[in-house]
Amino acid sequence: MFKSLSNINQEQLDIWVKQALTKAKYGHLPNYIPLLAEANPNNFAILLQSTDNYIISLGNMKIKVPFMSIIKPFLLFYLLSKFGNEFVFKKVGRKPSKKPFNSLEQLEVDGGWPRNPMINSGAITLSSLLPGNTAIERSNNFCYWLNNYGNCQLFLDKNVLASVRSLPNQNNQAIAKKLVESGYIKDAEITLDTYNQICCLSGRIFDIATLGILLVQSPHPEWQKHCCTVKALMTTCGLYETSNRYTIDIGVPLKSSVSGIILGLVPNKGVIVCYSPPLDQQGNSVAGLFLLEVIYRNLDQGVFS
Ligand code: GLN
């Protein structure tokens, strides 16, 4: 278990969560996916889980949340395990970006080269590599693989997908068009549809934790190196333009999503998953970041601690 997980008792966590939820009132809900815009800002869940299954949780553990960008590290991991390093990194870079996760400007400055897999341009490109002929086939294959690998129960949330489709994301469309021009993807429509579907894969907080644990401790020795690659990229790019700041302040692999999830890995020990919908300017959960900072400070378990 985490060396000091037992330092964090339920009472202490309760106090921090109250503080976090007060801060969350200053966050905003994303306006470009109607169902996320209508999410209850008071929805909340947090789970600390060690690799040997010691668990502390608080909040609504039954809630099912669309992964959105939390899928990105797992998309990268799946493709690395299937096709290997060389093939995948011919298609996407490993360079952090100082621009927002959905920046078209960054892609244009880079001449249509998607600079990392944790931002939209990179994940859209990687979506085009998923095996299958149609978007639904690709998304189903990937979902099936994740469920098998992680022994979890992810599913495509059709309501969220309908909501995403009801307000076509012109920014992502422009990113896909640019990626076609630069030759990184072939078919903008099927690729974007695949990307949207995998962002709508949903699950419980436990499912996210289970998948996170598999990055902390690979069950297959031959995939260990891929876990390391994914963790390094989560550390340098997982919180987009604020990654650098949190690498210094927290110092662990982190990934956030516009649905309000933050996944934090505890090196060699476990994971922390937090869900709270209100976001900061960069699209990271306000309460999630606050809690991760305070918990990691207490655990003293950063890569650089
Ligand atoms: N589907 C979302 C988008 O493309 C995912 C982004 C996110 O979670 N930050 O905007």
User: What pLDDT is attached to residue 1?
Assistant: 46
Q: Residue 261 and residue 14: Cα distance in Å, rounded?
A: 19
From the list 234, 186, 225, the residue with the least C-alpha distance to 85 is 225
pLDDT lower than 70: segments of the chain: 1-7
Tell me the CA–centroid distance for residue 5 and ligand 1, in Å.
32
Q: Where in the chain is the domain with CATH 3.40.710.10?
A: 5-49+206-299, 69-201
Mutate to test the pocket of ligand 1, among 68, 165, 243, 284 (most ligand atoms within 8 A of CB): 68
Residue 101, ligand 1, Cβ within 6 A: yes
User: What pLDDT is attached to residue 303?
Assistant: 78
Q: Looking at this protein, which amino acid is placed at residue 290?
A: F
User: What pLDDT is attached to residue 7?
Assistant: 65
Superfamily covering domain 5-49+206-299:
DD-peptidase/beta-lactamase superfamily (3.40.710.10)
Q: Residue 235 and residue 298: Cα distance in Å, rounded?
A: 19
User: What pLDDT is attached to residue 4?
Assistant: 53
Q: Residue 246 and residue 254: Cα distance in Å, rounded?
A: 9
Yes or no: say if 101 and 152 are a contact pair by the CB < 8 Å rule: no
Residues 6+ apart with CB under 8 A from 279: 27, 28, 29, 30, 258, 260, 285, 286
Mutate to test the pocket of ligand 1, among 31, 75, 199 (most ligand atoms within 8 A of CB): 199
Q: Whose CA is nearest to atom 6 of ligand 1?
A: 69
User: What pLDDT is attached to residue 155?
Assistant: 98
Residue 176, ligand 1, Cβ within 6 A: no
Question: What CATH number is given for 69-201 in this structure?
Answer: 3.40.710.10
Q: What is the dihedral of CA 216, 53, 300, 61, to 10 degrees?
A: 100
Tens digit of pLDDT for each residue in 94-116? 999 999 999 999 999 999 999 99
